[in-house]
Amino acid sequence: MLSPLSSITLWTRCGEGASNARLEEPLKSFLRAALFEPRLHGKLLNMLSLLEHIGSRKIMLSQMRKVLDTELLKHMAEETRHAFFFKHQAERFCGQPCADYEETHTLCAPQARIYFARLDAGITRLLGKNAAPRAPYLWVSFIVELRAGWFYSFYEQALQEAKIPLSLKSIMAEEEKHLQEMQRHLHELGVMNDLLCARVVTLETKLFTRLLTHLTQAAGARPPLEQPLHSRAG
């Protein structure tokens, strides 16, 4: 089983520990700036709702022709509920309905979509055309849950420091459970190997760094120093 520090442990094992450590201060700076301005905070929350919605939708689209067991349906339902939670909070902070995920109501909406789309396409490419049908869904879910747990832990800390009455603890617990489930299925499928894991981690780290760069620039915070994608990321 993965520990609560699984993201740091895995990133270090895959050679991306330093790259992700460099993202911590820019993320903290961004969160301080975003939480200081309620409307900006609301747009961040709507972006998180968008990402959770994309995740739920990808589960449905990629698995609709396969056996939908209770675990899969529960995963999809919980991601949808997370999207609703963040959307509801976004409207509370923005002080108005956020009827869609356009840039008017959403922080860095195009870049958030690009992050998910390129991650999905990149992992599918890394797995190859002979991969098990469920492997792309499991890998994308695993690596996204890993990033979400890391991001939400810093976000929760920033909320507490700013004394904002909003808690992510229940969502974090569910994301950790999803992470454990994805890891177990990857091992059962025989596709959790060190080389592939390193390539997936490298790809996601570079894509998230780009997204965080856009977020920090939108909030007027200090962006991370982006490095070019390694050739091994595909």
* pLDDT at residue 4 greater than cutoff 90: no
Structure tokens at 117: 């789309």
Contact between 151 and 45 under an 8 Å Cβ cutoff? The reply is: no
Compute the distance between CA of residue 108 and CA of residue 120 in angstroms, rounded to an integer: 19
pLDDT at residue number 224 = 78
Half-sphere exposure in the Cβ direction for 96 (13 Å, CA): 8
What percent of the chain stands above pLDDT 90?
67
* Three-state secondary structure of 118-150: HHHHHHHHHHCCCCCCCHHHHHHHHHHHHHHHH
The model's pLDDT over 83-110, given as tens digits with 9 standing for 90+, comes to 999 999 999 999 999 989 999 999 999 9
The model's pLDDT over 125-165, given as tens digits with 9 standing for 90+, comes to 999 999 988 899 999 999 999 999 999 999 999 999 999 99
Q: How confident is the model at residue 234 (pLDDT cuts 50, 70, 90)?
A: very low
pLDDT at residue number 13 = 85
Q: How confident is the model at residue 6 (pLDDT cuts 50, 70, 90)?
A: low
Q: How confident is the model at residue 62 (pLDDT cuts 50, 70, 90)?
A: confident
Return the C-alpha torsion angle 130, 134, 138, 141, nearest 10: 110
pTM over 0.95: no
Structure tokens at 7: 């993201």
